[in-house]
């Protein structure tokens, strides 16, 4: 193997594929750049909020169950705008993806809860009368 090459084991376990190390460094750089700094800060805050909520509920945040996530966003809907609830869902999904876990945010119970939140909150905002 030449200097600057890193062996990546394939699914067959042969290690026959070699990828230049600079390429992997560049991949890591692009991954870091895939989200704006403000988005990352928001995700960090939202993830901490979810972890605190989980601690109070005595449930594990990682990996979170779909039921836990649905209950969390239902509670958030009482005090946050739809976009803020969605960003919390995104933060939970990103945290799970970052450690290679399946995201509980893509399940039917979470999707339907979010759909109900959107419909309910949109209806409430359209009922507001401006004088």
Q: Is residue 52 part of a domain?
A: yes
Which pLDDT value is given to residue 2?
A: 43
- Residue 111 is part of a domain; what is its CATH number? 1.10.150.130
Which pLDDT value is given to residue 3?
A: 46
Q: Which domain holds residue 82?
A: 37-126
Query: Which H or E run contains 128?
Result: none
Q: Is residue 29 part of a domain?
A: yes
Which pLDDT value is given to residue 18?
A: 61
Q: What is the mean pLDDT of each run of 10 residues along the chain (131 residues)?
A: 44 55 78 84 95 98 98 96 96 95 97 96 59 52
Which pLDDT value is given to residue 33?
A: 85
Query: Could you tell me the pTM of the whole model?
Result: 0.72
Regarding whether 102 and 65 lie in a shared domain, the answer is yes
Q: Is residue 46 part of a domain?
A: yes
Tell me the Ramachandran region of residue 100: left when phi exceeds 0, alpha when psi lies from -120 to 50, beta otherwise: left
Q: Is residue 13 part of a domain?
A: yes
């Amino acid at each position: 193997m030449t200097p600057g090459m890193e062996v990546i084991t394939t699914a067959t376990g042969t290690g026959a594929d070699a990828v230049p190390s600079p390429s992997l460094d560049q991949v890591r750089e692009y991954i870091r750049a895939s989200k704006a700094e403000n988005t990352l800060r928001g995700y960090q805050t939202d993830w901490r909020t979810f972890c605190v909520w989980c601690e109070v509920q005595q449930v594990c945040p990682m990996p979170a169950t779909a039921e836990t996530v649905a209950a969390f966003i239902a509670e958030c809907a009482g005090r946050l705008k739809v976009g803020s609830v969605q960003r919390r869902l995104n933060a939970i999904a990103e945290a799970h993806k970052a450690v290679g876990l399946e995201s509980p945010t893509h399940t039917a119970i979470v999707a339907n809860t979010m759909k109900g939140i959107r419909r309910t909150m949109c209806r409430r905002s359209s009922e507001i009368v401006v004088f």
